[in-house]
Structure 1
Amino acid sequence: MRENAAERRISGRSAVDTTAGRILDLIRVRQLNVGDVLPTERELSELTGASRNTVREALRTIRTYGLIDPKPRVGAVLANGQSIAIQNFFAAHMDISRSSFADIQGYRRIIEVGIGDHIVLNASNEQIEALDEINAQIITSRSIEEAAENDFNFHMALIKLADNRMLTDMYSFLSPVILRIMTIGKEMRPVLADTRTAHGEIVAALRARDRLAYAYLISRHLDFALRFLPEEPASDSQ
């Protein structure tokens, strides 16, 4: 089957990237486990609507991230460490534009604001003080990457106070993308004291058991870095 222009470019993404995403969706829907064999290239072509050449390239892309292994006379099978592979795949294909940033921060706002009531009502004073100790580590960061990791650790600690394993697992799953956004934020605004102050205000709202102040401060904190990203569409002027 010969590829046409529509297949080569779908919704602003290459056909290979789009097909790779559909194959990952298929893996999830069928709940395939490590060692399970993927459908053949011909079957994947029929399932995804892509040509066999595109499917072959998509499989190569996924294999690059360690998600699948080719087995002679068997086909492609799911490899060990598939969760990490999928995380890396999404992180590598995540463009940091104003729209994608807004999507990720919007997701985080829904989660981090939403858990406010539970934390205010159920978190112990010791747990809240532990947040402050994690926050203090940000100012000691020796690199942009370490600063981003310390920033993420604070928000991950907040999520854990919701005492919901599914929520913690989902947030952890997105860690490569969130860390990438945080790293870019630190590159654009390398003032660790600002982050520490913002986190400190959030901790203070929790100490006061003030859910409205907590919701406002979290939302403001998550929105702040948006002003450092370029407007869209980018100018064509040189």
Structure 2
Amino acid sequence: MSENPQALRDNVGARRAGGSSAVDAAAGRILDLIRARQLNVGDVLPTERELSEITGASRNTVREALRTIRTYGLIEPKPRVGAVLADGQSIAIQNFFAAHMDVSRSSFADIQGFRRIIEVGIGDHIVLNATSDQIEALDDINARIVESRSIEEAAENDFNFHMALIGLAGNRMLTDMYSFLSPVILRIMTIGKEMRPVLADTRAAHGEIIAALRARDRLAYAYLMSRHLDFALRFLPEEPASKT
């Protein structure tokens, strides 16, 4: 019986915290290959020998990397064909991509930019339509952040606050989209809290956003949310300048 995908993701995260293993590195390069070649469901991956040449890893390492990827549900073996991209397992796929995502300043900016479009964009609707009880419920969720017993729990409580905020827009498609991105957003939040584990600051920033909603102040909400989403960028290392 295969291991639980969530447990595997946790194991991968633990190994990465202490330094990427050769298997993790090979899995990441195979993921890069899938992206670069824009492989679709049913497309066949290169053979183990070819992947070994492409990634520079031994065939044993490639075999273990493929086993990890297969456990996440991203690929499946096909007799007399080889490993093919699987279908219908979106949660497993998003977990794998999140676990192997390199968080650079540029990728962080892209993700936070996407979040800004959504979370700032819904401000007008929330300010005009959210009830006082709904806004107070946000305050209750926010209070759980400082009660977190681990970085992972703090990230989850942080995400729950933003997810509840999205829910106030009353748009199911928007909620589903944000939920689908949860592994990636949670990874960003976890990294941020590893670099600067001051949970009181997160609660305070959320509290200012809640205060703007209570005051029905759209401008203050937009400013405070944008500032909050940009804040963690200062804790990521500068990327080297590209050579021309």
TM-score (norm 2): 0.73
The one of 185, 190, 202 equivalent to 1:195 is 202
Q: 1:102: which partner in 2?
A: 109
Q: 2:3: which partner in 1?
A: none
Instruction: Using the TM superposition, give the Cα deviation of residue 233 of structure 1 relative to its aligned residue in structure 2, in angstroms.
Output: 1.4
Matched, 1:129 2:106: no
Q: What CA distance in whole angstroms lies between the structure 2 residues aligned with 1:94 and 1:156?
A: 21
The one of 156, 161, 164 equivalent to 2:163 is 156
Q: How does 1:54-93 map to 2 (within 5 A)?
A: 54=51, 60=66, 62-72=69-79, 82-93=89-100
Instruction: Using the TM superposition, give the Cα deviation of residue 73 of structure 1 relative to its aligned residue in structure 2, in angstroms.
Output: 6.2
**What is the SS of the residue equivalent to 1:195?**
helix
Q: 1:32: which partner in 2?
A: none
**What is the SS of the residue equivalent to 1:152?**
helix
Q: What does the per-residue CA deviation read over 1:161-186, in whole Å, with 9 as the maximum and x for residues that have no partner?
A: 11111111111111111111111111
The one of 192, 210, 223 equivalent to 1:216 is 223
Identical residues among aligned pairs (%): 79
Following TM superposition, where does structure 1 have runs of at least 4 consecutive aligned residues deviating by more than 3 angstroms? 22-25, 52-55, 57-62, 71-81
- Contact 2:40-2:85 within 8 A present in 1 as well: no
Q: How does 1:7-86 map to 2 (within 5 A)?
A: 16-21=30-35, 26-27=40-41, 38-39=42-43, 41=44, 53-54=50-51, 60=66, 62-72=69-79, 82-86=89-93
Q: 1:205: which partner in 2?
A: 212
Q: What CA distance in whole angstroms lies between the structure 1 residues aligned with 2:205 and 2:183?
A: 22
Instruction: Using the TM superposition, give the Cα deviation of residue 70 of structure 1 relative to its aligned residue in structure 2, in angstroms.
Output: 2.1
Matched, 1:231 2:238: yes
Q: What CA distance in whole angstroms lies between the structure 2 residues aligned with 1:18 and 1:150?
A: 31
Query: Which structure 1 residue ranges, 5 or more long, are not aligned?
Result: 1-13, 28-37
Instruction: Using the TM superposition, give the Cα deviation of residue 92 of structure 1 relative to its aligned residue in structure 2, in angstroms.
Output: 2.2
Instruction: Using the TM superposition, give the Cα deviation of residue 79 of structure 1 relative to its aligned residue in structure 2, in angstroms.
Output: 6.0
Specify whether residues 216 and 122 from structure 1 end up closer, same or farther in structure 2 by C-alpha distance, changes over 3 A only: same
Matched, 1:142 2:142: no
Q: 2:175: which partner in 1?
A: 168
Instruction: Using the TM superposition, give the Cα deviation of residue 15 of structure 1 relative to its aligned residue in structure 2, in angstroms.
Output: 6.8
Q: What CA distance in whole angstroms lies between the structure 2 residues aligned with 1:91 and 1:15?
A: 14
CA RMSD of aligned residues (A): 3.1
Q: What CA distance in whole angstroms lies between the structure 2 residues aligned with 1:185 and 1:134?
A: 19
Q: What CA distance in whole angstroms lies between the structure 1 residues aligned with 2:175 and 2:199?
A: 25
Q: 1:6: which partner in 2?
A: none
